[in-house]
Structure 1
Amino acid sequence: MAAIDYRSAAPKTGFSLQSIVGTLVAWNDRRMTRASLNRLTARELDDIGLTRGDIDAVAYGNLIR
């Protein structure tokens, strides 16, 4: 007797629960980083070598010094 394969022939879309959760976690990390840095005064930002314009770059990990 032959085995019957019930797997779908539909192509995978590339989305998975793991990728969705990972995207949400990364978004939340960036949001929290921006919020924390925006609460600092200009003097406190200067103490750590940043300006207000650097905050988004820091949140996305694109700041190169």
Structure 2
Amino acid sequence: MTAISLTRASASTNASQPNFAVRLLAGVREWNELRATRKALSALSDRELADIGLNRGDIGQIGR
């Protein structure tokens, strides 16, 4: 007969690090916010971009 252990390793080893799913979700949220920002900036005219101190070439650099 085989016994299966259902105990886990000590939780204290991972307590200081967020788990993979949390980090992944945070990364997706950040990527989406940057995508939305670049999309909104792309919709502005050249004059509106100049008013906030940007030009079209700067949009691609947002978030890098």
What TM-score range do you get, normalising by the shorter chain?
0.5 to 0.7
The whole-number CA distance in structure 2 between the counterparts of 1:42 and 1:27 is 25
Q: What root-mean-square deviation, in Å, do the aligned CA atoms of Structure 1 and Structure 2 show?
A: 2.6
Question: What is residue 30 of structure 1 aligned with on the other side?
Answer: 34
Question: Please, what TM-score do these two structures have when normalized by structure 1?
Answer: 0.67
Cα deviation for residue 5 of structure 1 reads 7.7
Secondary structure, aligned partner of 1:53:
helix
Identity of aligned residues (%): 36
Counterpart pick for 2:25 among 18, 21, 24: 21
Task: Give unpaired runs (5+ residues) of structure 2.
Answer: none
Task: Give unpaired runs (5+ residues) of structure 1.
Answer: none
Question: What is residue 47 of structure 2 aligned with on the other side?
Answer: 43
Structure 1 stretches of 4+ moved >3 Å? none
Q: Which amino acid aligns with 1:46?
A: A
Cα deviation for residue 6 of structure 1 reads 2.5
Question: What is residue 6 of structure 1 aligned with on the other side?
Answer: 7
Matched residue pairs, number? 53
